[in-house]
Amino acid sequence: MLEVQDLYVSYGMMEVLHGVDISVQDGELISVIGPNGAGKTTLIKTIMGLVKPKSGKILYDGQDITHLPAHKRAGLGIGYVPEGRHVFGRLTVEENLTIGAYSSSDKEKLKKNIDMVYEIFPRLAERKGQLARTMSGGEQQMLAIGRALTLSPRLLLIDEVSMGLMPIMVNTCFKVIHDLNKRGITVLVVEQNANKALKVADRGYVLETGNIVLTDTAENLRGNDVVQKAYLGT
Amino acid sequence: MFLQLVINSLAIGSLYALTAMGATLIYGILGILDIANAGAYLIGAYIGYYIYISTGQLVLAFLGAMLSVGLVGVVLHRTVYGPILAKPRMLSIIPLVAAVGLFTMSSDLIRLLCGAGTKAYNFRFPVDVVRVGSVTIQTTWLLIFALTAVLLVVLWVVLNKTKMGLAWRATAEDPDIARACGVNTNSAMALSYVLGYGFAAAAGIMTGILYNSITPALGEVPSYKMLAIIVLGGLGNPLGTVVAGLLIGFAEVMLSTYTVLPIPKDAVAFVVLIIVLLIKPSGLFGQRNKV
C-alpha cells in the first residue's frame, strides 16, 4: 500500500534522512522505532507531504505521490496524527472532527464517522461544544486521533502517540490503534516507546540517525539483543 | 444631538473596522502586515466612483468595486506575497516593505490615471434626515452604519458558520495540520484577500459618499490608523478589530465634540492605542479567542 524508496530529506544544509526504504502492506500495523532525533517525525511528515524530500520516491497504492500537495494526500485516504497532538485549540471538539473530513462533501458519512469517533472515545462526545485547548493532554490526544478518522482513512500515520501522556492513557491509545487496525485500517506508527509499539505491531523498523538499521517482524525485534539493550531496557 | 453623535461614532467606528478587517484577516492567516489594504480602499473608492457616475447605480458600484478589488488582492497574493513568503529564511520586514511599496504605487497610479484633483460622488439619499421624536439623524450616517454592520455580520457568518470559514480558522491556527486535514490552505488565503480587499473597497466608497470627496491621498490616513486598530484589537482577531474600530470611532467623535483636543483628531487612535497597550500589552483580544 505504501512504498518509501531511497528517501533523502534535508533541512537546509543538514541532511536528516539518508536513503530510507520502508514498505507497508495492506492491513499491516508497522512501527518505526528509534531514539530522539533519528528522523522519525521527518519521515512521517514527508509521507504526509508537509516536508519536501530532496530525492527518493513515495508510492501510495502504486501511485507516485512524492510531489502531491498534503491536502490532496489527505483526500486519497491518508490520515495524520501529529506529534504533540496539535489539535485546533480555538475550535470546538466537533469542529476539529469536522475539519478532519474537509476533503469530503458527504455530510451523512461525516456524521456517521463522527458518531463512530464518539463511540470509540465517549469522553469526546461529552465535550462536543468545548474549545479543544481547554481539554487535558489525554483528551487532546483522543481528539487528534479522532480527527484523523473522520475522513475514513485507509492509511493512518501516527507520530509519537505516547508523548507526554500518563501510562494509563498510553495504554488506551495503543489499544485504540490496535482495534483500528483490526477494523481494516493500515497503520504506520513512529514511536520512542519501543516496548508498546512493538507489542501491537506486525513488523517493525529501527531508524537511527537517518538510516534504517534493522527490520524484522515485531516479535523477532522484541527478541533481538541489540533492540533489547537499546530500546527495551532489558 | 447625542443620538446623532452616537450614530456618527457607530458609522465611523464600523467604517474603521471594515477598513482594517482586510489587514486583520491577512495577518490572521499569513502573519504579515499588509498596508496595501489602504490601497484597496483607495482604488475601491475610485472604481466605485466611475461605475456610479457612468451608470447611476450605487449597488452596482459597490459590487463592481468589491469584486474587482478582491480579485486584485488574490492576484497580489499569488504574484507578490506568496512567492516572498515561500522563500526560506524570509525576514518578516520584507513583506511589510513590499506592502508599503504597493500602497505607494496605488496612490501614484490613481494620481496618474485619474488626476490629482478632488472628485465628488454627489450622491444624495431621497430623504436627508430621519426624525425620531425630537431628534433628527442624517440618513447618510445611518445607512452607512447599517451597511457596514451588514457586511460585518456577513463576515461573521462566513467565518463561523460555513465550511470555508472553518477552514480559514483552522489554517489561521496551524496551516500544516490544516493541510494534513485536507484543507487547501491557498484557498483559505485567497478567501482572506477576496474578503479583505473587497471590504476595504466598500469602506472606501462609503467614505467617499460620507465626505463627498475622493482624492488620491484618500488611503493615507487609513494606512496608519488601520495599524492602530488591528494592534488594538489583538492582531489577527476579527472580533477584536470590530471592537477596536468602534472604540476609536467613539473616542474621536466624542472627544472632538465635548473637549478641545490639543492634538489632531487622527492622532486620537494612537493615544487610545498607547493607553490600552500600557494596560494590556497583547491588545484588547490578545488571547486570540474564537472569532
Point out the residue among A12, A90, A102 whose CB comes nearest to the CB of B181: A102
Whether the per-residue pLDDT at B289 is higher than 50: the answer is no
Is the CB of residue B189 less than 8 Å away from at least one CB of chain A? no
Q: Which three cell numbers stand for residue B93?
A: 520586514
- For B156, what's the count of Cα atoms within 13 Å in the CB-facing half-sphere? 12
Question: Which residues on B lie below 8 Å from A131 (Cβ)?
Answer: 290
A2: CB partners within 8 A, 6+ apart: A22, A23, A24, A47, A58, A59, A60, A155, A186, A188
For residue A69, what pLDDT band results from cuts at 50, 70 and 90? very high
pTM: 0.87
Nearest to B137 by CA among B147, B149, B148, B125: B125
Is the CB of residue B191 less than 8 Å away from at least one CB of chain A? no
Asked if A90 lies within 8 A of B173 by C-beta distance, the reply is yes
pLDDT for residue B86: 84
Measured in angstroms, the CA of B140 and the nearest CA of chain A are apart by 38
Whether the per-residue pLDDT at B125 is higher than 60: the answer is yes
Whether the per-residue pLDDT at A231 is higher than 70: the answer is yes
- Please give the average per-residue pLDDT across A138-156, as a whole number: 94
Task: Report which listed range, A5-14, A99-108, B42-51, is most confident.
Answer: B42-51
Question: Which residues on A lie below 8 Å from B163 (Cβ)?
Answer: 98, 102
DSSP single-letter state for residue A230: I
- Please give the average per-residue pLDDT across B146-175, as a whole number: 92
CA distance B37 to B256: 27
For residue A42, what pLDDT band results from cuts at 50, 70 and 90? very high
**Interstrand relation of A63-64 and A55-60 (parallel, antiparallel or unpaired):** antiparallel
% chain B with pLDDT above 70: 98
CA distance B276 to B269: 11
For residue A234, what pLDDT band results from cuts at 50, 70 and 90? low
Point out the residue among A49, A71, A95 whose CB comes nearest to the CB of B166: A95
Question: Which residues on A lie below 8 Å from B184 (Cβ)?
Answer: 69, 71
Is the CB of residue B87 less than 8 Å away from at least one CB of chain A? no
Strand pairing partners for A31? A189, A204
Categorise residue B226: left if φ over 0, alpha if ψ from -120 to 50, beta otherwise. Answer: alpha
CB of A121 closer than 8 Å to CB of A44: no
- Please give the average per-residue pLDDT across B68-83, as a whole number: 94
Point out the residue among B169, B181, B288 whose CB comes nearest to the CB of A100: B181
What is the phi/psi pair of residue A64, to 5°? -75, 110
What amino acid occupies position A105? S
% chain A with pLDDT above 90: 82
pLDDT for residue B277: 85
The number of beta carbons lying within 10 Å of the beta carbon of residue A78 is: 27
> Which of B179, B186, B191, B288 is the best residue to mutate to test the A interface, defined by the most A CB atoms within 10 Å of its own CB?
B179
Asked if A99 lies within 8 A of B166 by C-beta distance, the reply is yes
- Please give the average per-residue pLDDT across A213-225, as a whole number: 92
B157: CB partners within 8 A, 6+ apart: B165
Which residue of chain A is at minimal alpha-carbon distance from B88? A12
Question: Which residues on A lie below 8 Å from B177 (Cβ)?
Answer: 80, 82, 86, 88
- Please give the average per-residue pLDDT across A75-100, as a whole number: 94
pLDDT for residue B139: 85
What amino acid occupies position A3? E
Whether the per-residue pLDDT at A70 is higher than 50: the answer is yes
CA distance A2 to A186: 10
User: What value of ipTM does the predicted structure carry?
Assistant: 0.91
pLDDT digits (tens, 9 = 90+) for B199-252: 999 999 999 998 899 999 999 999 989 989 998 988 888 899 999 999 999 999
Strand pairing partners for B3? none
What is the phi/psi pair of residue A10, to 5°? -140, 150
CA distance A74 to A102: 9
pLDDT for residue B287: 54
% chain B with pLDDT above 90: 55
Which residue of chain A is at minimal alpha-carbon distance from B289? A90
pLDDT for residue B31: 86
CA distance B221 to B232: 17
Structural domains of chain B, ranges and CATH numbers in brackets = 2-279 (1.10.3470)
- Please give the mean pLDDT across all residues of chain B: 89
Q: Which CATH class is domain A25-52+63-232?
A: alpha beta
For residue B59, what pLDDT band results from cuts at 50, 70 and 90? very high
The number of beta carbons lying within 10 Å of the beta carbon of residue A175 is: 11
Asked if B185 lies within 8 A of A71 by C-beta distance, the reply is yes
- Please give the average per-residue pLDDT across B60-78, as a whole number: 95
Asked if A50 lies within 8 A of B176 by C-beta distance, the reply is yes
Higher pLDDT, A175 or B7: A175
pLDDT for residue A228: 86
Measured in angstroms, the CA of A127 and the nearest CA of chain B are apart by 17
Residue with the three cell numbers 506568496: B82
Whether the per-residue pLDDT at B290 is higher than 60: the answer is no
Is the CB of residue A88 less than 8 Å away from at least one CB of chain B? yes
Asked if A99 lies within 8 A of B167 by C-beta distance, the reply is yes
Is the CB of residue B176 less than 8 Å away from at least one CB of chain A? yes
Which 3 state secondary structure label does DSSP give B286?
coil
For residue B110, what pLDDT band results from cuts at 50, 70 and 90? very high
Whether the per-residue pLDDT at A175 is higher than 80: the answer is yes
Higher pLDDT, A175 or B132: A175
pLDDT digits (tens, 9 = 90+) for B22-53: 899 999 888 888 999 999 999 999 999 999 99
What's the distance, Cα to Cα, between the start and end of chain A in Å? 34
Asked if A50 lies within 8 A of B180 by C-beta distance, the reply is yes
CB of B29 closer than 8 Å to CB of B171: yes
Higher pLDDT, A71 or B291: A71
For residue B163, what pLDDT band results from cuts at 50, 70 and 90? very high
Size of interface A-B (CB pairs under 8 A): 75
